[in-house]
Chain A
Amino acid sequence: MTMSYLAPAIAHEQRDSLLGRTSPLVKLAIAVLWLLGLGLTVHPGPPLVLIVVTLIAGIELGRIPLPRLAARLVPLALAAAGIAVTNLVFSGQNADPAATELTRIGPLRITEEAVAAAFGIGARIGAIVAVGAVFALTTDPTRLVDALVQQGRISPRFAYGALAAYQAVPRLADDLATLRAARRLRGLREWHPRILVGLLVRAIRRADQLAIAMDARGFGSPDLGARTTFRPLHWSILDAVVLLTGVVLIVVLLLATR
């Protein structure tokens, strides 16, 4: 587990791509809208189209290198397939005597209707996986928080407090290595739930220091007058185009497969 893997700073190429320059809030809004839209249908069509569109957009508009995208997708796709299989095996339609029996595996009866439903659910989860991966691989966490504050009107104290805490992720990996080494030295099992206590102790100590440093610099202090921004963000035509495309796409897909 390397530090760079755990602290995913995205590369310049993705950050300056079309999708990288789109407001993170627009991408987030589309992702949530698509998610809600997919919850409304069991048809496999809409999620399959969204998977194709998302992956092409990620590669072409987001400039995500194919190996990087694949490395992110493969383990997640396997987990998604697991959920689809679970749905297939435990489908209520397998017990329905009117359903067409396809095969039997030991005591399990698998019906055509259950296969169709599981395929739809598998496609839905595949779409969720693809959208999440492309969002994470084209969104700089700092820009996400800037957008939440400037465009989403989230309280800067909470948003930047969370960002400051997020920067500690690579240190958490270091802490974990230290704690495991310490346990090994004492002849204990390296993995134990107690490690979590050690991790939290170190994280909270660091949070205390961070809070003192932030207070000392007048972070979020109402006495300092109006706030200025270091990295001003503005809505652009690009944001409007991407948002419109995303909304139209899901509406058309849902209407077409009704």
Chain B
Amino acid sequence: MTTLDRVRVPPTAPPSAAPPSAAWRTRDIVVTAVIGVAFGVVFWAWGLAWGAFEPLNLVVPVLRDSLYAVWLVPAVLAPLIVRRPGAALFAEMGAAGVSALLGSQWGVDTLLSGFVQGAAAELVFAFTLYQVWSLPVLSVAAVASAAAAWIHDWVLYYPDFAIELQILRGVLMAISALVFVAGGSVLLVRALRRAGVLEGFPA
């Protein structure tokens, strides 16, 4: 362990007292980027596993999409931690970019997906002026991100699906987003705070 491990950024103000500012500290940038990169590796592994989940679709058509929301986690987790404008888009696109560079069956479309998924969550947080981080807001952001992904995939990958299946797919993705993205982000932030790595962050 180096001496740097014990250095902490001195908080200029009590962390939770001041409203979150629009200015990004270097620490906010790098932590958001690192969350994006870590999930980029998760995305890449999830993409390879995605084919192995195919049998789920034989049980109930499109059942596999109930696992979809793993791809949406950084769009809520990163802004929940750093609380800066643009964090949802930055983290989600960073993760998408890393998984595309590592190799994904969705190629450059990963970037487009990351953009629409991150932008949808970003809009919800912008709507609260980046002031409200309650579970309902996180849930709305998660479902918005899933809705964007749902429309994108409808047009690009499942244009020929029957309409009932499109709706079922949407419902499964929304439930998936509530569990993995909203619930998962809250649990992850709680675990990270307990581990002591979120000192100096509002979360």
Residues of A within 8 A of B (CB): 6, 8, 28, 31-32, 35, 39, 42, 72, 75-80, 82-83, 86-87, 89-93, 95, 114, 117-118, 121, 124-125, 128-133, 135-136, 139, 141, 157-158, 161-162, 164-166, 168-169, 172-173, 196-197, 199-201, 203-215, 219-220
Contact = CB atoms under 8 A, between A and B. Distances in A.
26 contacts: A6-B41, A6-B102, A8-B103, A75-B105, A78-B51, A79-B51, A87-B157, A87-B160, A89-B61, A91-B162, A93-B160, A117-B159, A128-B109, A129-B106, A129-B107, A132-B104, A132-B109, A132-B110, A158-B33, A161-B32, A162-B90, A162-B97, A197-B191, A200-B35, A207-B34, A214-B26
B21 interface: no
B157 A76 contact: no
Contacts of A86: 54, 57, 158
In the A-B complex, the 6 residue pairs with the smallest Cβ-Cβ separation, listed nearest first, are A132-B107, A165-B33, A92-B162, A161-B29, A31-B108, A79-B105
Interface string B164-190: 010000000000000000000000100
B12 to A, nearest CB: 13
Interface of B is mostly: helix
A35 B112 contact: yes
B13 interface: no
Contacts of B9: 208, 211-212
B30 A165 contact: yes
Contacts of A173: 41
